[in-house]
Amino acid sequence: MAWTVANNGAPNTLLLARPSAPYVSLGFHQSFAEEIDPAFLERRPIPVLRRVEGGGTTYLDPDQQFYQLAYREEGGGGGGPADLERFLRAPVRAARALGLAATLRPPSDLTVGDRKFSGNAGGDWEGAHLLVGGFLGRADLVSMTEVLRLPDPALRPILQRAVGRWITSWEAETGRVPDPEALRDALVRAFVRERLFRVRVGDPSPEEERRFRTETLPRHADPRWRDLPPIPKRPGTPLRSIRIAGPHGMIVLEAGSAEGLWAAIVEGDLLREGYRLVPGDGALAQPIPAASDEAGQLGRYLRRLPPFR
């Protein structure tokens, strides 16, 4: 879609879609073997699809509504992160029109209170600018966390608590999942009301259909694409860092030493909870008292991480 908008005469395009069945989306730079819990796929053999660009691992299902915008500069925006704030006015308006007290938490999360129900990102791709995002109609927190491979089973409940703390959904806020058609109509009306685009309904162009058939589908059917090797890690890189909900949460796990694994839940730049885990005994997830030397070491380690925004 981005290519045809940039090079093939397609108009600026808003794509509204939802998955027909659950799947897992892997960021381009991620490793299938490191990210995905094999036990989850044994229980639920759903597709794992690697994106052509980055970001984290996400579990997606039919209760999520995607909106994807590809646009050129003329009539659109100049590209770059500044466009996020401008275009995200539309999904905020759509959510409010359907009864959700949505606000934009810059740069690109939509929240109710401090809980996120919509993640968004942008980019410049093939000569077009992109905005991609989605609404969580219902949040399957169990699947969202069970799909992730963790170095110790004791981390699973910690992760689930953290995700439950920072993620919400339409169902959690209003008691029901919105009707898909009403949601799509609200999104289209919002893009028009925000005077971002004039909208006319259309189908994928023959070129978009051809490239989907000849490039996208074969890529996802090729296990070599899914199993691309991981990028070599520099010394000191955390074993796993999981960004849960934008600026309000991250779990960082450091590679084990004789003393075990460290895990931290970070809120903003602050350590909120620290844990020490003993390898081989998943029952031992010991909270680290904030005043302890271990917490101090964890704090120093976290300061070495890139700024968390």
Partner 1 sequence: MAATDGAVPGTYCAIGADLWFRRRPDGSYEIGLSRAAQERAGPISHYRGPLVGRRYGKGEPALSLETEKWVGHLPLPVAGTVIEANRALESDPSPINRDSYGAGWLYRMKPEDSRALEELFRNGTTAQDSR
Chain residues in the site for partner 1 (CB under 8 A): 28-29, 53-54, 79-81, 84, 107-108, 120-127, 231-234, 237, 243, 306-307, 309
Cβ closer to partner 1: 122 or 178? 122
* Least separation in angstroms between CB 241 and partner 1: 11
* Cβ-Cβ contacts under 8 Å for 150 (sequence gap 6 or more): 37, 156, 159, 240, 253
CB 168 within 8 A of CB 103: no
Alpha-carbon gap, residue 202 to 200, rounded angstroms: 6
Alpha-carbon gap, residue 205 to 9, rounded angstroms: 10
Cβ closer to partner 1: 53 or 209? 53
Q: Per the structure block, which two tokens stand in for 20?
A: 């027909």
Give the number of residues written for the chain.
309
Q: Per the structure block, which two tokens stand in for 69?
A: 């915008």
* Least separation in angstroms between CB 41 and partner 1: 25
Q: How many CA atoms lie within 13 A of 251 on its CB side?
A: 26
Give the strand order in the sheet containing 285-287.
Answer: 240-243, 250-257, 260-267, 270-277, 285-287
* Least separation in angstroms between CB 306 and partner 1: 5
* Least separation in angstroms between CB 113 and partner 1: 21
* Least separation in angstroms between CB 305 and partner 1: 10
* Least separation in angstroms between CB 300 and partner 1: 17
Cβ closer to partner 1: 125 or 275? 125
Cβ closer to partner 1: 244 or 285? 244
Cβ closer to partner 1: 29 or 93? 29
Cβ closer to partner 1: 38 or 106? 106
* Least separation in angstroms between CB 307 and partner 1: 5
Cβ closer to partner 1: 172 or 305? 305
* Least separation in angstroms between CB 77 and partner 1: 13
Alpha-carbon gap, residue 69 to 58, rounded angstroms: 20
Query: According to DSSP H, which parts of 29-179 are helical?
Result: 32-35, 38-43, 82-87, 89-97, 141-146, 155-166, 170-174
Q: Per the structure block, which two tokens stand in for 45?
A: 């053999």
Looking up tokens 């395009």 gives 13
Alpha-carbon gap, residue 199 to 181, rounded angstroms: 16
The one-letter code for the residue type at 147 is: V
Q: Per the structure block, which two tokens stand in for 222?
A: 């090729």
Cβ closer to partner 1: 120 or 169? 120
